[in-house]
A and B are shown apart, each in its own frame.
Chain A
Amino acid sequence: NAGVMQNPRHLVRRRGQEARLRCSPMKGHSHVYWYRQLPEEGLKFMVYLQKENIIDESGMPKERFSAEFPKEGPSILRIQQVVRGDSAAYFCASSLSGGPDTQYFGPGTRLTVL
């Protein structure tokens, strides 16, 4: 049973470019969460999605960041016009339900902005 998958694992972008991070949840999971982790820091919640719906985006910066989870295909976190401060590890997690349920994390995408 495949776990949460993320790609790419490493992404390098120059300032001003766009970054697209993909997350495929565990089989049967329809709840997806995105987190950002700066070096040597904890996990910061960004957004919670279910299929075709954004449930909670309270942790998402208001500009340049967007997320989607289409009916078919992976969830995508999109960062437009990246800046150096966007460099971080981005993890997605999935859960079977949206209640107090275990979240399983993917391996993360390490974004480096030059």
Chain B
Amino acid sequence: QQPVQSPQAVILREGEDAVINCSSSKALYSVHWYRQKHGEAPVFLMILLKGGEQKGHDKISASFNEKKQQSSLYLTASQLSYSGTYFCGTPWGAYNNNDMRFGAGTRLTVKP
């Protein structure tokens, strides 16, 4: 069992927007977003800790709908550097980071 991400893959042109969704069958206490480039380690993007929270930096932002047990990552005016695989992760146990489960990932490709 793990969070479910959609879509599995996205191809964009530079400057276009994308939304990546992460949903769970279990209650979500926090959602962590990471980006991983091929052959590299996942890099932390942001963490959302409570329902209704929205965060962002640069042109990447995220929202967390606790009641719907889902989170969305928004990438606006995408840049070539945004290419990579995006993972959402959530502690599968309550209120702690034990057994962090990650979604299968969304592969984003930004083309010139």
Contacts and interface: CB of A to CB of B under 8 A. Distances in A.
A56 B100 CA distance: 11
Interface string A40-83: 01111100100000011011000000000000000000000000
B100 A103 contact: yes
Given A31-B97, A42-B102, A58-B99, A102 B42 contact: no
A91 B97 contact: no
A42 B41 contact: no
A106 B36 CA distance: 12
B44 A107 contact: no
A70 B15 CA distance: 48
A107 B87 contact: no
B96 to A, nearest CB: 6
B57 to A, nearest CB: 14
B41 A99 contact: no
Contact of B104 (A42, A45, A108): A42
Interface residues of A, number: 26
A48 B87 CA distance: 19
Interface in A74-105: 91, 95, 98-105
Interface hub of A45, A56, A105 (most chain B Cβ within 10 A): A45
Most buried by B among A95, A103, A106: A103
Interface string B69-112: 00000000000000000010101010111111111110000000
B96 A99 contact: yes
A100 B96 contact: yes
Interface of A: 31, 33, 35, 41-45, 48, 55-56, 58-59, 91, 95, 98-108
